[in-house]
Amino acid sequence: MEIAAKTGTGATEARMPEPELFITVSDALEYLFCPRFIFFERCLMIPEHQEKRYKVLKGRELHEFREKINRDYVRKKLNCTRKEISVYLTSHKHHFKGEVDEVLFLEDGTAAPLDYKFAEFKKTIYRTHKYQAALYGLLIMEHFGVEVKKGFVCYTRSNNYVAEIDFKQKDYETAKEIVREILMIIQRGYFPEGTKRKARCVDCTYRNICVQR
Ligand code: SF4
């Protein structure tokens, strides 16, 4: 898309290319927590300080933990023939980017993302973890040109338990829809519905300015 540049007299002089907008997988995680986070942060530019502090601390904690974890041991259980670590990928097709902890190339010729979570496995795969993995799957397919039928999440606080997610076509469609909605909020300033889980509003930084309480 191009935008017209106006001169001091108001005449249209040239058409400047509009910078491409990319969202991150972290944006998608915030959206899944509450879509309004995107509006407050990216449209009104009000930072979510507590959340950021939490993320930094969590990131450091995870980094220290990753130094200790035996990744080879985790991978051996997954029949992979080759792997790439900390792969930063961008989808120009869907306008999002993210860093995949590990891309595993499996014996059957497909690939899969492996994500490490500094968390316990609570007998179910959370929606956030599932769609994060699906977004990584889309990035891997676009970049490496291989099929991605599943993803893995390693829960480091449950003795490195590795949960497997089998992706269905509708999971990829939902992941793409999440990206489209975030882009729409940012580009059009569209004010989305807030989370339906009211417990999340209790400690929310935006509670005082969010009409949905
Ligand atoms: S108060 Fe609730 S609905 Fe509003 S932004 Fe916070 S979590 Fe979302």
Flag whether 104 is in a domain: yes
Residue-wise pLDDT for 139-174, tens only, equals: 999 999 999 999 999 998 888 899 999 999 999 999
pTM to 2 decimal places: 0.82
Residue-wise pLDDT for 20-66, tens only, equals: 789 999 899 999 999 999 999 988 888 776 555 445 555 555 655 56
**Spacing, Cα 160 to ligand 1 middle (Å):** 33
* pLDDT for position 178: 96
Flag whether 38 is in a domain: yes
- The Cα-based distances of 134 to 12, 112, 150, 167, 195 in angstroms read 43, 10, 8, 7, 21
Flag whether 183 is in a domain: yes
Flag whether 206 is in a domain: no
* 35 in contact with ligand 1, CB cutoff 6 A: no
Flag whether 4 is in a domain: no
- Residue 213 Cα: closest atom of ligand 1: 1
- Distance between the two ends of the chain, CA-based, in angstroms? 38
Residue nearest to atom 5 of ligand 1 (CA): 36
Flag whether 209 is in a domain: no
**Spacing, Cα 26 to ligand 1 middle (Å):** 17
* 195 in contact with ligand 1, CB cutoff 6 A: yes
Domain count, the chain: 1
* 204 in contact with ligand 1, CB cutoff 6 A: yes
Q: Which domain holds residue 158?
A: 10-201
Flag whether 208 is in a domain: no
CATH number for the domain harbouring residue 18 = 3.90.320
* 146 in contact with ligand 1, CB cutoff 6 A: no
- Residue 211 Cα: closest atom of ligand 1: 4
Flag whether 177 is in a domain: yes
* 33 in contact with ligand 1, CB cutoff 6 A: no
